[in-house]
Chain A
């Protein structure tokens, strides 16, 4: 039982490189004398994840089926998580499409509404997620990012469907598994309050003013319906948000109690927070990954380490307010932008994070169809995903390369993600600007 812990630890490392091949131990004793109590999962530096995840997935890693490869059941759990994530992305895409079509029809832009209805963006996003090589690589490498992605998608789906308990559960579990989905509380609250993505809110204000100004006693039925629709689309409803906060407190207390029960004999919650969130925030493990922080903190001098830690973690928090102010009428797209930024700037990034936001990018295929540099981004992702294992092999295995070879691909990958997030935000703002222009022209036409 003692050495089986090592098999667990390899599955649940907090990060996974692109060449995450699991080494097979040559022996695994089973009938040893068990010690008086099992050692702490946080003894040593192997495991930095959730104790709940360890209790759920740990027994699956040691259960073997004759004639089958090891860790088959654990791989099956990750496959199921990926499939459920794809189904939830598809369902969220359907709700987004219905809401977008309804908004455009209420504004009177019927042509755009029909064009938006024709494109099955939910199915497209689900297929992009499932067929993404990054999803497959993360699943083959037994990375736990599949479960983290499932929790993030669950919170977004719950928020799109106005299901406050489901959204709260997804948000609490995603924040518990890795710290960075905590910033998704802003788009989740905006989704629950304002509803799914819509054109800019001032268009509805203009339409309300126009309707009030041109109220005629004829066709009062459609007029009343339009007024109700505008009222629903414009007002921030606090009731789902209060429900969400209540369920968040409930789920958080429940998770903390369960974690306290799990780790009460190993130092309690303080030790848990130090090993999980402290490990993320202090960037202790400098093993190479596809981000840029590992090499930065391997090379930076100790005197400046805390300064740069604050700067790099603050970079995620700095862009929350400007993005929320600018994109508060599109909360789902705001969540996508937050996911891209956190997957770019987190301490231990992996390709599983890229699989999530590339899948969510398919949800906005209609709005982002005018995005620039699309082919350049696609070629860049293909190039980096092919070059990164080559550079890793040249440095680590063959010895002909250098650490800078692998770091160059990490820099290129970071630049690609920057271009993706900047161009997607720009394309979305241009789309909203086009809607505003079309509606203004329509208003001018009505007035004349």
Chain B
């Protein structure tokens, strides 16, 4: 199922804001998703189109948070939490999801849940993790179910029922994963953008975390014929050299056989 999506950001200065602040920046994000269910091509890894977030229809809709950062280097995503002026007035939790780690071999996806009452400005979540050691989740996880992924068939889905105490300030869940290496046809046209991870769904007030972009390790897309010719040359070198070594001794054996056959005739003489 091919997927076309686009994002549009619109930032304007605003002197009148919903939470009563005088000056602020009004951030409007529009995500357009076009699904084409007619094609029968197998989906990409970790792609679950049924759980895509709905579009933002207007500037008055504050059900979605926009805590993300644009990255200049497109090969990796260092998303950091930012102070967002669009604080939800209804939901008791503020949810943000980001990808951690560097390099294209393995990484982690973390979901940060923060209560509205104790909201503070934290710019680096890794710093936050260093301050508090990860606590055992047995106190908070009531139930958990994991559907393991199968390559190019089904995504990895984990569902948890969490039970947090009322005085909880913030909680961070992180899951470590290994990144895959795909066939050349399975990459999207803009490979350096990375792969789309659908939003995590938090069922408390039915709001969503952000979309994520996870970059993968990429082959050189201009190299199919070079790789095929070099690899086949290596195999031909192996086969030819080994067969030549095995054949070379046979000639000496034939010479010895001829030499041996001449001895009885001499003895007969």
**Chain A residues with a Cβ under 8 A of chain B:** 2-3, 5, 19, 23-27, 29-33, 35, 39, 43-46, 284-288, 292-302, 311-312, 315, 318-319, 322-323, 326, 344, 395-399, 402-404, 407, 411, 414-415, 418, 421-422, 425-426, 429, 433, 436
Using known A-B contacts A292-B231, A396-B104, determine if residue A418 contacts B223 with beta carbons closer than 8 Å: no
- Report yes or no: B238 in contact with A45, Cβ–Cβ below 8 A: no
Using known A-B contacts A44-B156, A298-B219, determine if residue A29 contacts B151 with beta carbons closer than 8 Å: no
- Report yes or no: A299 in contact with B234, Cβ–Cβ below 8 A: no
- Report yes or no: A33 in contact with B143, Cβ–Cβ below 8 A: yes
Task: Across the interface, name the chain A residue whose C-beta is closest to B177.
Answer: A23
- Report yes or no: B185 in contact with A302, Cβ–Cβ below 8 A: yes
A46, A288, A399: the one within 8 Å of B75 (CB): A399
- Report yes or no: B228 in contact with A298, Cβ–Cβ below 8 A: no
Q: In the complex, A212 Cα to B141 Cα: how many Å?
A: 87
- Report yes or no: B252 in contact with A2, Cβ–Cβ below 8 A: no
- Report yes or no: B241 in contact with A302, Cβ–Cβ below 8 A: no
Residues 154-181 of B, flagged 1 when their CB comes within 8 A of A and 0 if not, give: 0010000000000000000010101011
B interface secondary structure, majority: mixed
Task: Give me 17 A-to-B residue pairs in the complex whose CB atoms sit less than 8 angstroms apart, sorted by A's number.
Answer: A23-B176, A27-B136, A27-B137, A29-B136, A30-B138, A285-B151, A286-B180, A298-B183, A299-B219, A299-B224, A397-B104, A399-B76, A404-B220, A411-B234, A415-B234, A418-B241, A426-B248
**B residues within 8 A CB of A286?**
180-183
Given contacts A3-B144, A25-B176, 17 further A-B contacts (CB under 8 A): A24-B176, A44-B150, A45-B149, A45-B150, A284-B151, A285-B181, A292-B234, A322-B243, A395-B104, A399-B104, A402-B220, A411-B234, A418-B241, A425-B242, A426-B248, A429-B248, A433-B249
B213 to chain A, nearest CB (A): 16
Using known A-B contacts A23-B106, A299-B228, determine if residue A29 contacts B219 with beta carbons closer than 8 Å: no
Q: In the complex, A172 Cα to B252 Cα: how many Å?
A: 39
Judge whether B217 is part of the interface by a CB distance below 8 angstroms: yes
Q: In the complex, A433 Cα to B245 Cα: how many Å?
A: 13
- Report yes or no: A426 in contact with B144, Cβ–Cβ below 8 A: no
Q: In the complex, A149 Cα to B12 Cα: how many Å?
A: 66
- Report yes or no: A46 in contact with B148, Cβ–Cβ below 8 A: yes
Q: In the complex, A399 Cα to B218 Cα: how many Å?
A: 10
A220 to chain B, nearest CB (A): 27
- Report yes or no: B223 in contact with A422, Cβ–Cβ below 8 A: no
A37 to chain B, nearest CB (A): 13
- Report yes or no: B217 in contact with A288, Cβ–Cβ below 8 A: yes
Count of CB-CB pairs between chains A and B under 8 Å: 153
**B residues within 8 A CB of A292?**
231, 234
Using known A-B contacts A29-B136, A326-B246, determine if residue A312 contacts B235 with beta carbons closer than 8 Å: yes
Judge whether B237 is part of the interface by a CB distance below 8 angstroms: yes
Which residue, of B148, B149, B218, B234, has the highest number of chain A Cβ atoms within 10 A?
Answer: B148
A5 to chain B, nearest CB (A): 8
Using known A-B contacts A296-B227, A298-B184, A396-B104, determine if residue A418 contacts B237 with beta carbons closer than 8 Å: yes
B247 to chain A, nearest CB (A): 8
- Report yes or no: B230 in contact with A429, Cβ–Cβ below 8 A: no
Judge whether B16 is part of the interface by a CB distance below 8 angstroms: no
Q: In the complex, A281 Cα to B175 Cα: how many Å?
A: 31
- Report yes or no: B237 in contact with A426, Cβ–Cβ below 8 A: no
B105, B242, B245, B252: the one within 8 Å of A396 (CB): B105
Which residue, of A43, A45, A287, A398, has the highest number of chain B Cβ atoms within 10 A?
Answer: A45
**B residues within 8 A CB of A395?**
104, 217
Using known A-B contacts A27-B136, A284-B151, determine if residue A421 contacts B242 with beta carbons closer than 8 Å: yes
Using known A-B contacts A27-B137, A285-B151, A407-B227, determine if residue A429 contacts B239 with beta carbons closer than 8 Å: no
**B residues within 8 A CB of A288?**
181, 217
**B residues within 8 A CB of A26?**
134, 174, 176
B134 to chain A, nearest CB (A): 5
Q: In the complex, A209 Cα to B181 Cα: how many Å?
A: 63
Residues 204-223 of B, flagged 1 when their CB comes within 8 A of A and 0 if not, give: 00000000000001111001
A5, A301, A433, A436: the one within 8 Å of B224 (CB): A301
A289 to chain B, nearest CB (A): 10
- Report yes or no: B150 in contact with A403, Cβ–Cβ below 8 A: no
Q: In the complex, A344 Cα to B185 Cα: how many Å?
A: 27
- Report yes or no: B180 in contact with A287, Cβ–Cβ below 8 A: yes
Judge whether B50 is part of the interface by a CB distance below 8 angstroms: no
Using known A-B contacts A44-B156, A285-B151, determine if residue A299 contacts B223 with beta carbons closer than 8 Å: yes
**B residues within 8 A CB of A404?**
220, 223
Task: Across the interface, name the chain B residue whose C-beta is closest to A19.
Answer: B105
Using known A-B contacts A284-B151, A315-B235, A404-B220, determine if residue A299 contacts B184 with beta carbons closer than 8 Å: yes
Using known A-B contacts A2-B145, A31-B138, A43-B148, determine if residue A287 contacts B181 with beta carbons closer than 8 Å: yes
Q: In the complex, A68 Cα to B174 Cα: how many Å?
A: 24
**A residues within 8 A CB of B103?**
396-398
Q: In the complex, A421 Cα to B246 Cα: how many Å?
A: 12
B3 to chain A, nearest CB (A): 21
**A residues within 8 A CB of B239?**
315, 318-319
- Report yes or no: B137 in contact with A29, Cβ–Cβ below 8 A: yes
Using known A-B contacts A292-B231, A326-B249, A415-B237, determine if residue A32 contacts B219 with beta carbons closer than 8 Å: no
A32, A46, A294, A403: the one within 8 Å of B141 (CB): A32
Using known A-B contacts A315-B239, A415-B234, determine if residue A323 contacts B141 with beta carbons closer than 8 Å: no
Using known A-B contacts A322-B246, A326-B246, determine if residue A418 contacts B238 with beta carbons closer than 8 Å: yes
- Report yes or no: B246 in contact with A29, Cβ–Cβ below 8 A: no
**A residues within 8 A CB of B75?**
399
Judge whether B15 is part of the interface by a CB distance below 8 angstroms: no
Which residue, of A27, A46, A294, has the highest number of chain B Cβ atoms within 10 A?
Answer: A27
- Report yes or no: A3 in contact with B219, Cβ–Cβ below 8 A: no
**A residues within 8 A CB of B156?**
44
B7 to chain A, nearest CB (A): 24
**B residues within 8 A CB of A294?**
181
